[in-house]
């Protein structure tokens, strides 16, 4: 009879050891699951919609190739991390190296995928709108808003939209709208323009920051060569001081609008519009494009000199001349083949 309690005790000890071993193995398995790559496909993107439950999120992860662990292990890990009430909606970039814990931490911290949209130097408002509408991720919330209504929504009523958005690359997340991106770009332009105006060269024939913006937009359209911007600005500033017409083709093209077919003709130079600087003196009514920081700096700090004319060489650069006779010779050389 004494042997029975001993056998029971031995059995209990054995069962305890087996349970401890099973627990240790389970813990090791869980730790391996928690820290090992989950198997997401290269370039996989997880979209977590607002209000989505954990089961739905896990289903999407499985569809993206995540094969690590059982669903129960994922739920235990989520409970351990207190993740369930903290998972954030958004778009998440995954990679094969991410572990289940790293994936859940991304969702907890809202480490969402950020997209890029670039406002290109020299774009017109029409080109900017077209690019915004074509972006596959940005929410199109500009429908029904003409430029005047758009600027009013941005807190800038009666301000022309042209030129008011700083060319830069802006980051955004899925769900953001074009209006929010434009607000950021307008704020950035306000700051850049204020800085250029405050640091401008003394004595410029410009009455306001808006006039500096307009001049910068013309400089932006006239040349793509950074080294020429200040020199071109100098030509325009000297012309303004002398009362000469600017006679710059980009303003004429802007004034023609959609009627411009890509070929600027002599009759176009004689067709009067508020933006035709061949028929009207001074600066046009407002900017004709989005100037970048370098064009703003050139307008604020034009180069010294005595040139009053320039002509395109055909390679992206320009030849500068002091007199009209020199300019005519340069036109014959670079645009008329020496005729």
What is the sign, positive or negative, of the torsion defined by CA atoms of 249, 250, 254, 257? positive
Residue 313 and residue 223 in one domain: yes
Residue 240 and residue 313 in one domain: yes
Is 24 within the bounds of a domain? no
Residue 188 and residue 133 in one domain: yes
Is 22 within the bounds of a domain? no
Is 27 within the bounds of a domain? no
At residue 105, the pLDDT reads 96
At residue 7, the pLDDT reads 67
What is the rounded distance in angstroms from the CA atom of residue 60 to the CA atom of residue 56?
Answer: 6
At residue 22, the pLDDT reads 67
Residue 211 and residue 188 in one domain: no
At residue 250, the pLDDT reads 96
At residue 226, the pLDDT reads 86
CATH number for 54:
3.30.1490.480
Is 317 within the bounds of a domain? yes
Residue 177 and residue 207 in one domain: no
Q: Which helix (H) or strand (E) holds 116?
A: strand 115-118
* pLDDT-wise least confident of 58-62, 325-329, 334-338: 334-338
Residue 187 and residue 85 in one domain: no
Residue 183 and residue 245 in one domain: no
Q: Which of 78, 113, 148 is the last residue of a domain?
A: 113
* Nearest alpha-carbon partner for 169 in 107, 207, 116, 123: 116
Residue with tokens 């009514």: 285
Residue 47 lies in domain: 36-113
Q: Which of 173, 192, 211 is the last residue of a domain?
A: 192
Is 30 within the bounds of a domain? no
Q: Which of 150, 174, 192 is the last residue of a domain?
A: 192
Residue 236 and residue 259 in one domain: yes
Residue 211 and residue 271 in one domain: yes
* Of residues 228 and 338, more confidently modeled: 228
Is 313 within the bounds of a domain? yes
Q: What is the pLDDT of residues 268-284, one digit of tens each?
A: 999 999 999 999 999 99
* Nearest alpha-carbon partner for 165 in 137, 139, 126: 126
At residue 316, the pLDDT reads 81
Mean pLDDT (the chain, rounded): 92
Residue 47 and residue 163 in one domain: no
Taking the model in full, what pTM does it have?
A: 0.85
At residue 16, the pLDDT reads 72
Residue 164 and residue 42 in one domain: no
pLDDT interval class at 334 (50, 70, 90): confident
Q: What is the mean pLDDT of residues 253-274?
A: 91
What is the rounded distance in angstroms from the CA atom of residue 223 to the CA atom of residue 318?
Answer: 8
**Structural domains of the chain, count:** 3
Is 12 within the bounds of a domain? no
Residue 213 and residue 301 in one domain: yes
Q: What is the pLDDT of residues 200-213, one digit of tens each?
A: 999 999 999 999 99
Q: What is the pLDDT of residues 16-63, one digit of tens each?
A: 776 776 667 767 888 999 999 998 888 899 999 999 999 999 999 999
HEC sequence for 153-198: HCCCCCCCCCCCCCCCEEEECCCCEHHHHHHHHHHHHHHHHHHHHH
Is 65 within the bounds of a domain? yes
Q: With H, G, I as helix, E, B as strand and everything else as coil, classify residue 212.
A: helix
């Amino acid at each position: 009879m004494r042997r029975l309690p001993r056998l029971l005790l031995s059995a209990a000890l054995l069962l305890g050891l087996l349970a401890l071993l099973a627990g240790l193995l389970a813990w090791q398995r869980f730790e391996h699951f928690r820290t090992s790559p989950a198997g997401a496909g290269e370039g996989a993107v997880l979209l977590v919609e607002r209000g989505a439950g954990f089961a739905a999120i896990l289903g999407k992860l499985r569809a993206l190739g995540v094969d690590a662990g059982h669903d129960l292990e994922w739920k235990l890990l989520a409970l351990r991390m207190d993740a369930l009430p903290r998972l954030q909606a958004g778009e998440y970039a995954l990679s094969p190296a991410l572990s289940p814990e790293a994936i859940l931490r991304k969702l907890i911290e809202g480490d969402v995928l950020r997209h890029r949209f670039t406002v290109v130097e020299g774009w017109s408002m029409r080109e900017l709108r077209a690019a915004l509408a074509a972006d596959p991720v940005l929410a199109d919330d500009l429908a029904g808003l003409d430029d005047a209504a758009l600027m009013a929504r941005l807190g800038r009523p009666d301000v022309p939209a042209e030129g008011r958005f700083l060319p830069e690359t802006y980051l955004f997340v899925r769900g953001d709208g074009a209006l929010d991106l434009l607000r950021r770009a307008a704020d950035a332009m306000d700051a850049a323009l204020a800085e250029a105006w405050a640091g401008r060269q003394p004595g410029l024939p410009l009455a306001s920051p808006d006039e500096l913006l307009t001049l910068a937009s013309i400089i932006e359209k006239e040349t793509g060569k950074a080294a020429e911007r200040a020199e071109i600005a100098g030509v325009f500033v000297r012309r303004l001081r002398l009362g000469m017409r600017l006679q710059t083709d980009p303003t004429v093209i802007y004034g023609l609008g959609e009627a411009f077919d890509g070929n600027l003709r002599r009759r176009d130079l004689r067709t009067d519009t508020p933006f035709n600087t061949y028929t009207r003196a001074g600066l046009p009514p407002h900017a004709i494009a989005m100037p970048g920081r370098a064009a703003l700096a050139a307008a604020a700090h034009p180069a010294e000199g005595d040139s009053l004319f320039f002509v395109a060489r055909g390679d992206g650069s320009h030849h500068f001349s002091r007199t009209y006779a020199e300019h005519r010779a340069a036109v014959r050389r670079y645009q008329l083949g020496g005729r």
